[in-house]
Structure 1
Amino acid sequence: MISATARNLEAEIEVSLDELRSVIATKMALEDKAECLLGTLSKLISIIEYSVVDWSLPKPAIPIYAWQAWNKARIICEGYFNNIGMICFSEASSMLKNNLKAGYWFHREDIY
């Protein structure tokens, strides 16, 4: 059974993925598009971090729906021309990795 919180997070994830598709589809300068892509991916990172179910592990436990959403975001970004999408996704992936490492460290050191 999926909790109400998980359902809410899944809904927020879908909204973020829709926003990502919208940014990709909107005509704007490449610099502006890159900024919007990173902003939308950052929002998705925040949702994924909130979905962590166990920070006590060196690789925090994240529900499958959150990882599936991150993979969907990668697919959306890699379909964008000029590699801007994958450059932004690569940057966002590094941010997610660092944030998860920091979250584990904060948990381990009991820092909140």
Structure 2
Amino acid sequence: MTYLPRIALIAVIGAALTPMAVLADGPMSAAGSKLASSVSVANQAHAEKPSVRNNLLWQVGQQITENHVRLRQPDAFGLKADATYWRSFGYIYEVSPESGEVIAQIGKASDVVGF
């Protein structure tokens, strides 16, 4: 095995990591493209929607469009048996079965149903 001086080893590792440092801001930033900045702006437009990345809730009147599971047998959890309930991002909502529009925010799923 060849002995490399410590400074040579640091230089080799630094040279190997240089492409990663250039791409840290995204692949298009190295080319001077404005596409990278437009992508981050597009992601900000979705910031007002609930997701696993924020603590926002679906508001009354909003239509739940993604990431929901129907709560079956709601009366077993002390909820109205004739209403429709959905779980979305860890929160229970009463929704309109036809449109998916939020009628009421019930509470955190862990508090209401225990999971």
Q: Could you state the TM-score of these two structures normalised by the residue count of structure 1?
A: 0.25
Higher RCO (C-alpha 8 Å, min separation 6): 1
Q: Could you state the TM-score of these two structures normalised by the residue count of structure 2?
A: 0.24
Rg comparison, structure with higher value: 2
